[in-house]
Amino acid sequence: MNYKYITCDHIINKITWNDTLFLGNYTIDPYQNCEFGCKYCDSTYDPTIYIKTNACELLNKELADLEKGCIIVGSVHDPYQKAEEKQKITRNLLKTIQKHGFSCHILTKSNLVLRDLDILSNISGCMVTISMISTSGNISNIFEEQVPSPKERLKIVEKLSQHGIKTGVAVMPLLPFIVEGQLEQLIKAASKHKAQYILHKHLELKGDQKKFFMDILKESFPSLVEKYEELYQDNYMPNDEYISGIKDILDSLCVKYNIKNMIT
């Protein structure tokens, strides 16, 4: 993995639509690209991690002129990837967010988020969503071998909740025909570990990402290749019938295990 230190012209972006999934008003990505290399993510292809060295300086200036709101931290690339352990850019951004009285919603897979509990506990309206594709270690090892195991991520959820942080699980991306049979186990485990909500979104396959992912299927799940080709056809997302069916299943499971199916 290569690291490149860069300076940016700006660090925060305004969300121009009604974000009903993450409830954000702004986004920040401390790093460009991601070391975790999850094989369903289009951040996988560039081996260079760009470290935004002036991120905190910029944020301090930009927040002074913005209306208060919720900042999504790690909207595209994980803010707690390996570089953060040394660079501490995310940690310092959170201090700036706290200083200016904004709220935040952190999206991550990493237990490094626990390092910053001292700051998170003092940010009003702070939320953390931990993403998981399955409770199966085998499936996780195929698609996301560089991130903490499913068991470890569930422990992150529980610890954050115990410290009063609003915490949930994102089943993202939901991998068709691979994880449906494990959804109940995942929702049950999330509820047991004190997750307060479940979010989900289907797998999108765009451009080179589609070929890359299909090659993985051919190697690890050859019987699913034809099903994926039929489900996605000439689109980057599954057909509406599949998406609607999965939503119904997850909504029902959330009711069964007494967990919200959205952030409220």
Tens digits of residue pLDDT in 185-231: 999 999 999 999 999 999 999 888 898 999 999 999 999 999 999 99
pTM of the model: 0.96
**Lowest-pLDDT range, 56-60, 211-215, 251-255?**
211-215
Q: What integer pLDDT is reported at residue 46 of this predicted model?
A: 76
Q: What integer pLDDT is reported at residue 227 of this predicted model?
A: 96
pLDDT category at 141 given cuts 50, 70, 90 is very high
- pLDDT tens digits for 1-31? 799 999 999 999 999 999 999 999 999 999 9
Q: What integer pLDDT is reported at residue 234 of this predicted model?
A: 86
Q: What integer pLDDT is reported at residue 45 of this predicted model?
A: 65
Q: Which of 148, 173, 141, 132 is nearest to 43 (CA)?
A: 173
Find where tokens 């050859």 sit: 222
Q: What integer pLDDT is reported at residue 36 of this predicted model?
A: 93
Mean pLDDT across the chain? 95
Task: Check whether 44 has a pLDDT greater than 70.
Answer: no
Task: Check whether 42 has a pLDDT greater than 90.
Answer: no
Q: What integer pLDDT is reported at residue 255 of this predicted model?
A: 98
4 and 49 Cβ atoms separated by less than 8 Å: yes
- pLDDT tens digits for 79-117? 999 999 999 999 999 999 999 999 999 999 999 999 999
Q: Which long-range contacts (CB under 8 A, 24 or more apart) does 213-222 make?
A: 213/39, 213/40, 216/39, 216/142, 216/143, 220/142, 221/177, 221/178
Task: Check whether 166 has a pLDDT greater than 90.
Answer: yes
Q: What integer pLDDT is reported at residue 209 of this predicted model?
A: 87
Tokens representing 106 are 């952190």
* Helix residue ranges, H only, 116-182: 117-120, 137-143, 150-162
